[in-house]
Chains A and B, each alone.
Chain A
Amino acid sequence: ISPELLIKHPLQNSWTLWFYKNDKQKQWEENQREISTFDTVEDFWALYNHIEAASRLQSGCDYSLFKAGIKPMWEDTKNKSGGRWLINLTRQQCINDLDSYWLETLLCLVGEAFDEQSDDICGTVVQIRTKGDKLAVWTGDLRNNDGILKIGMKYKERLGLPNKVCVMGYQAHADSMVICGSMPAQNRFTV
């Protein structure tokens, strides 16, 4: 038997998949649960093939994939100085593209698609919401302007989002933490 079939393909990083379900009787942190951690391509697929598709989750649920050791929350030391590239999906995109966008995002992260900028990647979150689903890639350092822009451009290219029609914004977690109500945080960068 070829060694290729016996040896799993290692990933550059270990990743943890988290699932959030909005139970209002519990604290936010209690609703965020680790599902599994993996560090090979085969184990990534074993997990992905096993779980419910994002589009089939109830409103209020999230999937998050973060490097092992980083919690999917602003307050984590690896996240708090950074921000996120955020896509607010249109109604049509929610229906047609959510699952493919989410998978493409996962492939970008586990495959280290951002080259040397991949070190600044913390994770990704998909949020299923009645008002419109959201997809975001989180990075760790707001000061890394060049890296943030390269990540944004590469991400937009991988998702196949048309350049002039779709503008993607990057928001600092520090800004998101202090906004009131449903006002969106300002975009520090756009692509």
Chain B
Amino acid sequence: GTRIIYERHELLQLRNSP
């Protein structure tokens, strides 16, 4: 099945997301 994978930079970009 599909797996939800986040690259490191994708997670870091969302760090300060409102």
Contacts and interface: CB of A to CB of B under 8 A. Distances in A.
A42 B5 contact: no
Contact of A113 (B5, B12, B15, B17): B5
Interface residues of A, number: 20
Contact of B3 (A41, A104, A107, A112): A112
| Main SS at interface, chain B | loop
Given A9-B14, A107-B8, A116-B3, 9 more contacts: A5-B18, A11-B4, A12-B3, A41-B17, A44-B11, A110-B11, A111-B5, A112-B6, A113-B5
Interface of A: 5, 9-12, 41-42, 44-45, 49, 104, 107, 110-113, 115-116, 118, 158
